[in-house]
Amino acid sequence: MSTDKQTITTDSLVKLRKNQPRFEGIESGHRACLGCGEALAARLVTEAAGPDVMIANATGCLEIFTTPWPESAWRLPWMHSLFENTGAIAAGMEAALKAQGKPTKVLAFGGDGGTFDIGFQALSGMLERGHNVLYVCFDNEAYMNTGIQRSSSTPHAAMTTTSPPGSDRMGKRHLKKDILSIVAAHHIPYAATTSVAYPSDLRKKIRRAMEIEGPTFIQIHSPCPLGWGHDGEYSIKVARLAVQTGLFPIIELERQEMIGSMPIRHPRPVTDYLGLQQRFRHLFNKDDARAVEELAHIQALADHNIKHYDLRGDGMDRLDSDGADTVRRGGMRWA
Protein backbone atom coordinates (compact mmCIF):
# COMPACT_ATOMS: atom_id res chain seq x y z
CA MET A 1 0.00 0.00 0.00
CA SER A 2 2.04 2.98 -1.15
CA THR A 3 1.11 6.60 -1.48
CA ASP A 4 2.59 9.22 -3.76
CA LYS A 5 5.47 10.71 -1.86
CA GLN A 6 6.71 14.21 -2.21
CA THR A 7 10.02 15.22 -0.76
CA ILE A 8 9.73 16.60 2.72
CA THR A 9 11.26 20.05 2.99
CA THR A 10 11.16 22.56 5.81
CA ASP A 11 8.65 24.59 3.81
CA SER A 12 6.38 21.64 3.27
CA LEU A 13 6.47 20.86 6.98
CA VAL A 14 5.64 24.45 7.87
CA LYS A 15 2.71 24.38 5.50
CA LEU A 16 1.63 20.97 6.77
CA ARG A 17 1.77 22.17 10.34
CA LYS A 18 -0.58 25.01 9.54
CA ASN A 19 -3.05 22.63 7.93
CA GLN A 20 -3.44 20.09 10.69
CA PRO A 21 -7.07 19.10 11.17
CA ARG A 22 -7.27 20.25 14.73
CA PHE A 23 -7.05 23.51 16.58
CA GLU A 24 -3.54 24.01 17.92
CA GLY A 25 -3.61 26.19 21.02
CA ILE A 26 -0.04 25.37 22.07
CA GLU A 27 2.71 25.25 19.50
CA SER A 28 5.83 23.13 19.33
CA GLY A 29 9.12 24.47 20.58
CA HIS A 30 7.99 24.75 24.19
CA ARG A 31 10.49 23.69 26.81
CA ALA A 32 8.59 20.88 28.55
CA CYS A 33 10.51 17.78 29.58
CA LEU A 34 10.43 14.68 27.39
CA GLY A 35 7.10 12.94 27.73
CA CYS A 36 5.55 15.66 29.89
CA GLY A 37 1.98 14.75 30.78
CA GLU A 38 1.04 18.34 31.53
CA ALA A 39 2.13 19.58 28.12
CA LEU A 40 0.02 16.94 26.50
CA ALA A 41 -2.96 17.68 28.72
CA ALA A 42 -2.77 21.39 28.03
CA ARG A 43 -2.63 20.82 24.30
CA LEU A 44 -5.63 18.53 24.43
CA VAL A 45 -7.54 21.07 26.51
CA THR A 46 -6.92 23.93 24.10
CA GLU A 47 -7.69 21.66 21.18
CA ALA A 48 -11.10 20.89 22.60
CA ALA A 49 -11.77 24.41 23.82
CA GLY A 50 -11.14 26.13 20.52
CA PRO A 51 -9.90 29.63 19.66
CA ASP A 52 -12.53 31.82 21.34
CA VAL A 53 -11.10 31.63 24.84
CA MET A 54 -9.01 33.72 27.19
CA ILE A 55 -6.61 32.00 29.55
CA ALA A 56 -5.42 32.84 33.06
CA ASN A 57 -2.47 30.64 33.99
CA ALA A 58 -0.87 30.14 37.40
CA THR A 59 2.86 30.11 37.97
CA GLY A 60 4.17 26.62 37.42
CA CYS A 61 5.61 24.27 34.87
CA LEU A 62 3.06 24.98 32.16
CA GLU A 63 3.50 28.73 32.41
CA ILE A 64 7.28 28.53 32.56
CA PHE A 65 7.86 26.16 29.69
CA THR A 66 5.44 27.90 27.36
CA THR A 67 6.52 31.53 27.79
CA PRO A 68 10.24 32.13 27.88
CA TRP A 69 10.26 35.71 26.71
CA PRO A 70 10.43 36.69 23.85
CA GLU A 71 8.79 33.43 22.85
CA SER A 72 5.38 32.09 23.62
CA ALA A 73 3.98 28.73 22.60
CA TRP A 74 0.39 29.96 23.03
CA ARG A 75 -1.80 30.78 20.12
CA LEU A 76 -4.51 32.03 22.44
CA PRO A 77 -4.87 35.23 24.49
CA TRP A 78 -3.11 34.30 27.67
CA MET A 79 -1.90 35.85 30.85
CA HIS A 80 0.12 34.75 33.79
CA SER A 81 0.06 36.83 36.95
CA LEU A 82 1.11 35.05 40.13
CA PHE A 83 1.03 31.64 41.73
CA GLU A 84 -2.00 31.99 43.97
CA ASN A 85 -4.47 34.18 42.13
CA THR A 86 -5.55 32.36 39.01
CA GLY A 87 -9.11 31.99 40.20
CA ALA A 88 -9.32 35.73 40.79
CA ILE A 89 -7.62 36.72 37.54
CA ALA A 90 -10.01 34.48 35.67
CA ALA A 91 -12.93 35.96 37.57
CA GLY A 92 -11.81 39.43 36.55
CA MET A 93 -11.51 38.44 32.93
CA GLU A 94 -14.95 36.95 33.07
CA ALA A 95 -16.45 40.04 34.66
CA ALA A 96 -14.85 42.23 32.02
CA LEU A 97 -15.99 40.11 29.10
CA LYS A 98 -19.47 39.97 30.58
CA ALA A 99 -19.54 43.73 30.92
CA GLN A 100 -18.35 44.05 27.34
CA GLY A 101 -20.97 41.58 26.15
CA LYS A 102 -18.41 39.25 24.58
CA PRO A 103 -19.02 35.49 24.51
CA THR A 104 -15.33 34.52 24.82
CA LYS A 105 -14.97 31.79 27.44
CA VAL A 106 -12.45 32.22 30.22
CA LEU A 107 -10.21 29.30 31.12
CA ALA A 108 -8.14 29.13 34.27
CA PHE A 109 -5.10 26.85 34.28
CA GLY A 110 -3.28 25.86 37.42
CA GLY A 111 -1.17 23.02 38.70
CA ASP A 112 -2.01 21.17 41.87
CA GLY A 113 0.05 23.69 43.83
CA GLY A 114 -1.78 26.67 42.45
CA THR A 115 -5.13 24.93 42.90
CA PHE A 116 -5.07 22.77 46.02
CA ASP A 117 -2.78 24.92 48.15
CA ILE A 118 -1.73 28.46 47.55
CA GLY A 119 -4.44 29.14 45.03
CA PHE A 120 -7.21 27.47 46.94
CA GLN A 121 -8.78 30.61 48.31
CA ALA A 122 -9.03 32.34 44.99
CA LEU A 123 -10.48 29.19 43.44
CA SER A 124 -13.08 28.90 46.17
CA GLY A 125 -14.09 32.53 45.80
CA MET A 126 -14.44 32.19 42.07
CA LEU A 127 -16.56 29.07 42.38
CA GLU A 128 -18.74 30.52 45.11
CA ARG A 129 -19.52 33.62 43.10
CA GLY A 130 -20.60 31.55 40.11
CA HIS A 131 -18.23 33.03 37.53
CA ASN A 132 -18.53 31.50 34.07
CA VAL A 133 -15.01 30.09 34.11
CA LEU A 134 -13.68 26.66 33.29
CA TYR A 135 -10.94 25.91 35.77
CA VAL A 136 -8.53 23.20 34.69
CA CYS A 137 -6.16 21.74 37.25
CA PHE A 138 -3.18 19.91 35.81
CA ASP A 139 -2.51 17.50 38.62
CA ASN A 140 1.05 16.18 38.62
CA GLU A 141 0.92 15.69 42.37
CA ALA A 142 3.71 17.98 43.61
CA TYR A 143 5.30 21.39 43.15
CA MET A 144 7.21 20.21 40.15
CA ASN A 145 8.43 23.47 38.73
CA THR A 146 10.39 24.35 41.84
CA GLY A 147 11.96 20.91 42.02
CA ILE A 148 9.46 18.31 43.17
CA GLN A 149 8.25 19.43 46.59
CA ARG A 150 5.14 17.98 48.10
CA SER A 151 1.72 19.53 47.72
CA SER A 152 -1.54 18.51 49.31
CA SER A 153 -2.18 16.59 46.10
CA THR A 154 0.86 14.39 46.53
CA PRO A 155 -0.38 10.86 47.14
CA HIS A 156 0.19 9.15 50.45
CA ALA A 157 3.67 7.64 50.86
CA ALA A 158 5.08 9.29 47.77
CA MET A 159 8.63 10.58 47.86
CA THR A 160 9.23 14.25 47.16
CA THR A 161 12.12 16.45 48.20
CA THR A 162 10.11 17.74 51.15
CA SER A 163 8.70 14.32 52.01
CA PRO A 164 11.68 12.07 51.53
CA PRO A 165 11.67 8.58 53.02
CA GLY A 166 14.25 7.78 55.64
CA SER A 167 14.64 6.04 58.95
CA ASP A 168 11.89 8.16 60.46
CA ARG A 169 9.59 8.64 57.52
CA MET A 170 8.01 6.73 54.67
CA GLY A 171 7.34 9.52 52.24
CA LYS A 172 4.37 11.83 52.47
CA ARG A 173 2.49 11.23 55.68
CA HIS A 174 -0.80 12.75 54.69
CA LEU A 175 -3.39 11.63 52.21
CA LYS A 176 -4.10 13.18 48.85
CA LYS A 177 -6.54 16.05 49.28
CA ASP A 178 -9.95 15.29 47.84
CA ILE A 179 -10.17 18.49 45.86
CA LEU A 180 -13.04 17.36 43.73
CA SER A 181 -15.37 16.92 46.67
CA ILE A 182 -14.38 20.30 48.03
CA VAL A 183 -14.94 21.93 44.67
CA ALA A 184 -18.20 20.12 44.19
CA ALA A 185 -19.35 21.27 47.62
CA HIS A 186 -19.53 24.75 46.12
CA HIS A 187 -22.53 23.36 44.31
CA ILE A 188 -21.15 24.16 40.88
CA PRO A 189 -22.81 22.83 37.75
CA TYR A 190 -19.98 20.51 36.71
CA ALA A 191 -16.82 19.06 38.18
CA ALA A 192 -14.92 16.10 36.81
CA THR A 193 -11.68 14.19 36.87
CA THR A 194 -9.95 12.83 33.79
CA SER A 195 -6.53 11.62 32.71
CA VAL A 196 -4.13 12.11 29.81
CA ALA A 197 -4.35 8.36 29.28
CA TYR A 198 -7.87 8.87 27.96
CA PRO A 199 -7.68 11.78 25.49
CA SER A 200 -11.20 11.28 24.18
CA ASP A 201 -12.63 11.40 27.68
CA LEU A 202 -10.59 14.50 28.40
CA ARG A 203 -11.72 16.37 25.30
CA LYS A 204 -15.32 15.37 25.79
CA LYS A 205 -15.33 16.73 29.31
CA ILE A 206 -13.68 19.98 28.26
CA ARG A 207 -16.25 20.49 25.56
CA ARG A 208 -19.02 19.73 27.99
CA ALA A 209 -17.69 22.22 30.50
CA MET A 210 -17.22 24.85 27.79
CA GLU A 211 -20.91 24.78 27.08
CA ILE A 212 -21.98 25.26 30.66
CA GLU A 213 -22.73 28.75 31.96
CA GLY A 214 -21.16 28.97 35.35
CA PRO A 215 -18.10 27.67 37.14
CA THR A 216 -16.79 24.29 36.06
CA PHE A 217 -13.75 22.39 37.27
CA ILE A 218 -11.76 19.64 35.62
CA GLN A 219 -8.85 17.87 37.27
CA ILE A 220 -6.51 16.17 34.81
CA HIS A 221 -4.12 13.56 36.11
CA SER A 222 -0.84 14.40 34.34
CA PRO A 223 2.27 12.30 34.97
CA CYS A 224 5.58 14.06 35.48
CA PRO A 225 8.38 11.73 34.36
CA LEU A 226 11.01 13.64 36.28
CA GLY A 227 9.03 13.98 39.48
CA TRP A 228 7.42 10.55 39.46
CA GLY A 229 10.58 8.78 38.39
CA HIS A 230 9.86 7.04 35.10
CA ASP A 231 10.92 7.39 31.49
CA GLY A 232 8.94 9.89 29.46
CA GLU A 233 7.82 7.16 27.07
CA TYR A 234 5.75 5.54 29.82
CA SER A 235 3.72 8.59 30.78
CA ILE A 236 0.53 7.28 29.22
CA LYS A 237 1.04 3.79 30.57
CA VAL A 238 1.54 5.13 34.08
CA ALA A 239 -1.47 7.43 33.84
CA ARG A 240 -3.62 4.58 32.63
CA LEU A 241 -2.59 2.37 35.50
CA ALA A 242 -3.45 5.07 38.00
CA VAL A 243 -7.00 4.84 36.72
CA GLN A 244 -7.07 1.09 36.40
CA THR A 245 -5.93 0.53 39.96
CA GLY A 246 -8.62 2.81 41.31
CA LEU A 247 -6.11 5.27 42.77
CA PHE A 248 -7.31 8.04 40.46
CA PRO A 249 -11.04 7.63 39.98
CA ILE A 250 -12.57 9.14 36.85
CA ILE A 251 -15.86 10.66 37.88
CA GLU A 252 -18.24 13.50 37.05
CA LEU A 253 -20.26 15.53 39.49
CA GLU A 254 -23.07 17.94 38.93
CA ARG A 255 -23.86 20.05 41.94
CA GLN A 256 -22.33 17.41 44.21
CA GLU A 257 -24.27 14.52 42.71
CA MET A 258 -22.18 11.93 40.92
CA ILE A 259 -23.62 11.62 37.42
CA GLY A 260 -20.92 9.74 35.57
CA SER A 261 -17.90 7.55 36.08
CA MET A 262 -15.50 5.36 34.18
CA PRO A 263 -15.89 1.82 35.47
CA ILE A 264 -12.75 -0.24 35.85
CA ARG A 265 -13.09 -3.38 33.81
CA HIS A 266 -10.25 -5.30 35.41
CA PRO A 267 -8.91 -3.59 38.54
CA ARG A 268 -5.13 -3.88 38.70
CA PRO A 269 -3.17 -4.28 41.93
CA VAL A 270 -1.65 -0.98 43.04
CA THR A 271 1.83 -2.48 42.81
CA ASP A 272 1.47 -2.53 39.01
CA TYR A 273 1.23 1.25 39.13
CA LEU A 274 3.55 2.04 42.03
CA GLY A 275 6.28 -0.28 40.79
CA LEU A 276 6.77 1.78 37.64
CA GLN A 277 7.69 4.92 39.54
CA GLN A 278 10.87 5.72 41.44
CA ARG A 279 8.94 7.96 43.82
CA PHE A 280 7.50 4.81 45.38
CA ARG A 281 10.56 2.63 45.27
CA HIS A 282 11.03 2.76 49.03
CA LEU A 283 7.80 0.79 49.31
CA PHE A 284 9.30 -2.19 47.54
CA ASN A 285 11.82 -3.13 50.17
CA LYS A 286 10.38 -6.42 51.36
CA ASP A 287 12.55 -6.40 54.46
CA ASP A 288 10.99 -3.17 55.67
CA ALA A 289 7.78 -3.82 57.58
CA ARG A 290 6.79 -0.20 57.12
CA ALA A 291 6.99 -0.63 53.35
CA VAL A 292 4.80 -3.69 53.47
CA GLU A 293 2.30 -1.82 55.58
CA GLU A 294 2.29 1.19 53.29
CA LEU A 295 1.66 -0.95 50.23
CA ALA A 296 -1.27 -2.52 52.01
CA HIS A 297 -2.50 0.92 52.98
CA ILE A 298 -2.36 2.17 49.43
CA GLN A 299 -4.15 -0.92 48.18
CA ALA A 300 -6.80 -0.27 50.82
CA LEU A 301 -7.15 3.30 49.58
CA ALA A 302 -7.62 2.03 46.05
CA ASP A 303 -10.15 -0.56 47.16
CA HIS A 304 -11.96 2.11 49.10
CA ASN A 305 -12.16 4.35 46.04
CA ILE A 306 -13.54 1.54 43.93
CA LYS A 307 -16.19 0.81 46.50
CA HIS A 308 -17.01 4.39 47.36
CA TYR A 309 -17.46 5.49 43.75
CA ASP A 310 -18.84 2.14 42.64
CA LEU A 311 -16.20 1.74 39.98
CA ARG A 312 -16.19 -2.01 39.59
CA GLY A 313 -16.92 -2.80 35.98
CA ASP A 314 -19.80 -4.99 34.98
CA GLY A 315 -18.43 -6.82 31.96
CA MET A 316 -17.36 -5.14 28.76
CA ASP A 317 -18.29 -1.50 28.37
CA ARG A 318 -17.18 0.75 25.55
CA LEU A 319 -16.50 3.60 27.93
CA ASP A 320 -14.81 1.72 30.74
CA SER A 321 -11.14 1.79 31.61
CA ASP A 322 -10.31 -0.76 28.91
CA GLY A 323 -12.81 0.32 26.29
CA ALA A 324 -12.42 4.08 26.33
CA ASP A 325 -9.98 5.32 23.73
CA THR A 326 -9.47 2.11 21.81
CA VAL A 327 -8.72 1.91 18.14
CA ARG A 328 -11.62 0.97 15.94
CA ARG A 329 -10.61 -2.65 15.76
CA GLY A 330 -13.71 -4.10 17.31
CA GLY A 331 -14.05 -1.25 19.86
CA MET A 332 -15.37 2.27 20.10
CA ARG A 333 -14.19 4.98 17.77
CA TRP A 334 -12.30 7.87 19.35
CA ALA A 335 -14.38 10.89 20.31
Partner 1 sequence: MTIKLTRGSYALPGTTLGYKTGTWRTQRPEHRHSSAPCHTACPAGEDPQAWLALLDEGKPREAWELLVSVNPMPAITGRVCPHPCESGCNRGQYDEPLAIHSVERFLGDEAIAKDWTYPVTAPPVQAPHVAVIGAGPAGLTAAYHLLRQGLQVTVFDKLAEAGGTLFTIPDYRMPREIVRAEIGRLLATGIVFKPNHELGRDLHLRELQQDYAAVFLAPGAMKSTEWNVDGVTPNDLHDGLHLLKRWSDVASLPEMKSAAVIGGGNTAIDIARILKRNGVDTHIVIHSSLPDPDNPAADDMRAIPREIQQALEEGVRIHDHHGVKRLILRGEKLSGIEIVRMRKLPDNKGRLHRVAFEGTESILHVDQVIPAIGQKIDPTGMERLLTGSSHFKVSERGQLAGNGNLYAGGDAIEGNGGTVTEAVGNGRVAAEAIAAALRQEKLPAITAPEPISFESLNMEYFEPARREEQDILPVQERVGEAEIEHGLSPLQAAHEANRCFACGNCLRCDNCWTLCPDSAVLKTQELASDGSFYVFDYDYCKGCGLCAIECPTGYIAIASE
Partner 2 sequence: MRKALEGSQAIAQTVALCRPQVVAAYPITPQTHIVENIAKLVADGNMDCELVSVESEFSAASLVLGAACAGSRTYTASASQGILLMSEVLYNIAGLRIPMVMTCANRAISAPLSIWNDQQDSMAVRDAGWIQLYCASNQEAVDTTIQAYRIAEATELPVMVCMDGFTLTHTLEPIDIPAQAMVDEYLPPFNFSRALDPANPISIGTLVSPDHYSEARHSHHHALLAAADEIIAADADWQQLSGRAAGGLLSVSGPDDAQIGILTLGSIVGTLSAASDTYTDLPATQLINLRAYRPFPVDALRLACSGLTDLIVLERALSPGFGGIVSAEVHAALAGMPAVPRIHSFAVGLGGRDIPLEIYRTLHERINVAEPQPFSIIDVEREKLPVEDHGIEVTGIMT
Query: Which stretches of the chain bind partner 1, using CB under 8 A?
Result: 1-6, 8, 10, 12-13, 16-17, 20-21, 24, 26-32, 34-37, 39-40, 43-44, 66-76, 196, 199, 231-237, 240, 316, 318, 322-323, 325-332, 334
Beta carbon of residue 103, minimum distance to partner 2 (angstroms, whole number): 10
- Of 190, 192, 150, the closest CA to residue 171 belongs to 150
Q: Which residues pair with 160 in a beta bridge?
A: 163
Q: Are 248 and 306 in contact (CB under 8 A)?
A: no
Q: What whole-number distance in Å separates Cα of residue 113 and Cα of residue 159?
A: 16
Q: Taking CB under 8 A as the rule, does residue 66 contact partner 2?
A: yes
Q: What whole-number distance in Å separates Cα of residue 158 and Cα of residue 20?
A: 40
Which of partner 2, partner 1, none binds 117 (CB below 5-8 Å, type-dependent)?
none
Cβ closest to partner 1, residue 234 vs residue 309: 234
Cβ closest to partner 2, residue 79 vs residue 258: 79
Q: Mapping DSSP to helix (H, G, I), strand (E, B) and coil, where does residue 276 land?
A: coil
Which of partner 1, partner 2, none binds 92 (CB below 5-8 Å, type-dependent)?
partner 2
Q: What whole-number distance in Å separates Cα of residue 146 and Cα of residue 94?
A: 30
Which of partner 2, partner 1, none binds 233 (CB below 5-8 Å, type-dependent)?
partner 1
Q: What whole-number distance in Å separates Cα of residue 248 and Cα of residue 221?
A: 8
Which of partner 2, partner 1, none binds 27 (CB below 5-8 Å, type-dependent)?
partner 1
Crossing angle of helices 235-245 and 37-49, rounded to 10°: 80
> Using CB under 8 A, which of 33, 82, 182, 332 touches partner 2?
82
Q: What whole-number distance in Å separates Cα of residue 300 and Cα of residue 290?
A: 15
Give the CA count within 13 Å in the CB-facing half-sphere of 107. 28
For every residue of 33-51, DSSP letters joined together read PTT-HHHHHHHHHHHHH-S
Which of partner 1, partner 2, none binds 240 (CB below 5-8 Å, type-dependent)?
partner 1
Q: Taking CB under 8 A as the rule, does residue 8 contact partner 2?
A: no
Beta carbon of residue 46, minimum distance to partner 2 (angstroms, whole number): 11
Contact segment (CB under 8 A) with partner 2 among 75-83, 184-192, 209-217, 283-291 equals 75-83
Q: What whole-number distance in Å separates Cα of residue 313 and Cα of residue 330?
A: 19
Measured CA angle at 189 (ends 326, 24), to 5 deg: 50
Q: Taking CB under 8 A as the rule, does residue 81 contact partner 2?
A: yes
Q: Are 220 and 136 in contact (CB under 8 A)?
A: yes
Beta carbon of residue 213, minimum distance to partner 2 (angstroms, whole number): 15
Q: Taking CB under 8 A as the rule, does residue 75 contact partner 2?
A: yes
Sign, CA torsion 225/230/231/232? negative
Q: Taking CB under 8 A as the rule, does residue 29 contact partner 2?
A: no
Which of partner 1, partner 2, none binds 265 (CB below 5-8 Å, type-dependent)?
none
Q: Taking CB under 8 A as the rule, does residue 67 contact partner 2?
A: yes
Q: Are 285 and 228 in contact (CB under 8 A)?
A: no
Q: Taking CB under 8 A as the rule, does residue 84 contact partner 2?
A: yes
Cβ closest to partner 1, residue 284 vs residue 334: 334
Which of partner 2, partner 1, none binds 199 (CB below 5-8 Å, type-dependent)?
partner 1
Which of partner 2, partner 1, none binds 39 (CB below 5-8 Å, type-dependent)?
partner 1
**113 to each of 24, 143, 333, how far by Cα in Å?**
26, 6, 35
Residue ranges binding partner 2 (CB under 8 A): 51-54, 56-57, 63-64, 66-70, 72, 74-82, 84-85, 87-100, 104, 106, 121-122, 124-125, 128-129
